């Protein structure tokens, strides 16, 4: 199998799986238990928190484990809107966010919130000025992702953070950094966001574990889950120690070769652009600068048909975000692409393991599909 869908999820290295197995079979104590075995598990959780926090560039006390990036995004909204409940009921976001953010905004509209959704330009870019222009005295929250999961565009979070101080110092800033963590260089300190959402399974960790950074401007964040007092009393529930250990191990592995991983993925992406550019009529969609995501379109060839045919050949690519489950993508819609182009968009995404040989196989398969199938749209 050739796997070119690392933006959907990533393969788990053996070292990560082995660390999780060790914790499941040896360090399975409840971190809330007061005897030595429980304290040992608690120490493991805190060591893992420190590992992920160091990679993010923040204090460990400001990093909280969650079940996934979606939960982290939703908790950020809960905390921000509670703190700014007297500021107003206006939210600024973009039309190309992950479904976790867009769906939460739709829910909030039903509760009387006003949502301003910023459209990207045809290249997928969203300037900081465009976001800041939409901020008003009653804006409680700005939510802009760091890296778009379908186009690879990197958004100017640090510029937005700096501009918010002058526009409305009470407005809080959230960024979904699930596609950016350990894939583009940044740190919590330089980014300047009040909330940063992460997910382990995008960097070689297990599914079912994520994290949320909560910055110093957030005053005693609104608890997500009341209960037994875990995660400093803000998210109750027995800690998923094995998943947390897997998250930390994956983080450590990525950090060991961080610069080399970025260089390799950028090289692979450049090679993919070269090879795919040989296919007549193929269009590149919003060439974002993140090194691991590349979207293209074969106008007139329905993307799901292309995905299915490549799957039969043992090649995994996607028709936009995996979270859409076959539904049209809000990202391609927001880009204002022609109907035939939008319907043919597929995404290739890469990891440190991706090889040029795999790119060759995908390019050959796409060329074959193009040469032997008649457009249907």
Q: How many CA atoms lie within 13 A of 108 on its CB side?
A: 25
Could you tell me where the DSSP H helices lie in 180-291? 188-191, 241-256, 258-276
Among 342, 325, 326, 321, smallest CA distance to 96 is for 321
357-375: b or e for each residue (b if 16 or more CB lie within 10 Å)? ebbebbbebbbebbeeeee
Q: Give me the sign of the Cα torsion angle 263, 311, 154, 52.
A: negative
Provide the residue count of the chain. 377
Active site residue 323: yes
Tell me the C-alpha to C-alpha distance, in Å, between residue 371 and each of 163, 205, 272.
50, 38, 19
Q: Which of 48, 58, 316, 323 is catalytic?
A: 323
Q: What are phi and psi of 174, to 5 degrees?
A: -115, 140
| Residues labelled as active-site residues | 323
């Amino acid at each position: 199998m050739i796997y070119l869908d690392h933006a959907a999820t990533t393969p788990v290295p053996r070292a990560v799986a082995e660390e999780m197995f060790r914790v499941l079979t040896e360090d399975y104590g409840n971190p809330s238990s007061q005897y030595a075995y429980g304290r040992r598990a608690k120490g493991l959780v805190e060591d893992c928190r420190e590992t992920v926090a160091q990679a993010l560039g923040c204090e460990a006390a400001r990093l909280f484990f969650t079940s996934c990036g979606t939960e982290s995004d939703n908790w950020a909204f809960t905390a921000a809107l509670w703190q700014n409940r007297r500021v107003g009921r206006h939210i600024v976001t973009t039309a190309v966010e992950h479904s976790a953010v867009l769906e939460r905004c739709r829910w909030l509209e039903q509760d009387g919130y006003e949502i301003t959704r910023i459209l990207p330009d045809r290249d997928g870019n969203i300037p900081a000025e465009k976001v800041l222009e939409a901020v008003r005295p009653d804006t409680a929250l700005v939510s802009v992702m760091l890296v778009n999961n379908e186009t690879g565009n990197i958004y100017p979070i640090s510029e937005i953070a700096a501009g918010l101080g002058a526009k409305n110092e009470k407005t809080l800033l959230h960024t979904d950094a699930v596609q950016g963590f350990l894939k583009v260089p940044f740190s919590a300190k330089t980014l300047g966001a009040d909330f940063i959402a992460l997910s382990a399974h995008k960097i070689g960790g297990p599914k079912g574990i994520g994290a949320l950074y909560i910055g110093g401007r957030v005053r005693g964040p609104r608890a997500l889950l009341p209960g037994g007092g875990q995660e400093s009393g803000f998210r109750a529930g027995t800690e998923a120690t094995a998943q947390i250990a897997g998250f930390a191990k994956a983080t450590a592995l990525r950090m060991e070769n961080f610069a080399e991983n970025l260089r390799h993925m950028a090289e692979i992406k450049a090679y993919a652009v070269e090879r795919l550019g040989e296919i007549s009529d193929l269009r590149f969609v919003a060439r974002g600068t993140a090194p691991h995501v590349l979207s293209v379109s074969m106008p007139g060839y329905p993307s799901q048909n292309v995905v299915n045919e490549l799957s039969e050949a043992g090649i995994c690519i996607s028709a936009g975000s995996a979270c859409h489950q076959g539904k049209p993508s809000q990202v391609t819609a927001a880009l204002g692409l022609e109907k035939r182009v939008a319907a043919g968009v597929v995404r290739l995404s890469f990891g440190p393991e991706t090889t040029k040989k795999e790119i060759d196989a995908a390019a050959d398969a796409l060329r074959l599909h193009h040469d032997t199938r008649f457009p249907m749209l």
